[in-house]
Amino acid sequence: MHDLTARKRALRAETRQRRRARGEQLTVAAGEGILEQARLVIEERSASSIACYLSAPLEPNTRPLLNWAVDAGIRVLLPVTREDGLLDWVVADGTSERTHELGFPEATGERLDPMAVDDVDVFFLPASSVDRSGLRLGWGRGYYDRTLGSMTRTPPTFAIVHDDELVDAVPHEPHDMPVSGVVTPTRVVVF
């Protein structure tokens, strides 16, 4: 177990280092590609409601996707962390957010309970990397694994990552939940 934890920590650190080296300018530019690829996923599924997240500065940029979806009249749910490790949800309005005490952006507004996400048509979530079988390595807090594990109806789930973050294998534990596919700035891969 200790070895597995160390391997996860090392892969997350490697991802953070690559993202810092990529820089904010390239990360922001990648947002247009993510928008185009995510639109394909949304349109193919005729999605009228999605769950997504507000990207932090060095994460693959979800802002163009969120702005397009809100402008297109798609209902967008954004996560709000809870102390019990679950996620509440807020309907995105395109502007209301704050900086969480851990430093990442978080939506503000009327909170919906954790079950609100059961009704979305597509779920986009963050990852540090994903392997070719769909196993996702998150950032270690378990919010998304708990959310996916507790959903009564799980829609197609897509991790948003950079192209080089789709890897051959990631260390995983039984509680790690797989995703249906990945969206990168250049492609969609469905598992």
Three-state DSSP state, 103: coil
Q: What CATH number does the domain containing 72 carry?
A: 3.40.50.10420
pLDDT at 84: 87
> What is the span of the domain harbouring residue 176?
2-190
Query: β-pairing, 75-81 with 87-91?
Result: antiparallel
What total number of domains does the chain contain? 1
pLDDT at 1: 57
For 110, list phi and psi in degrees, rounded to 5: -65, 125
- Average pLDDT for consecutive 10-residue bins of the chain (191 residues)? 80 83 75 95 97 90 94 96 90 80 81 93 96 90 88 93 94 87 97 94
Residues 6+ away with beta carbon under 8 Å from 185: 30, 31, 32, 33, 34, 37, 60, 162, 163
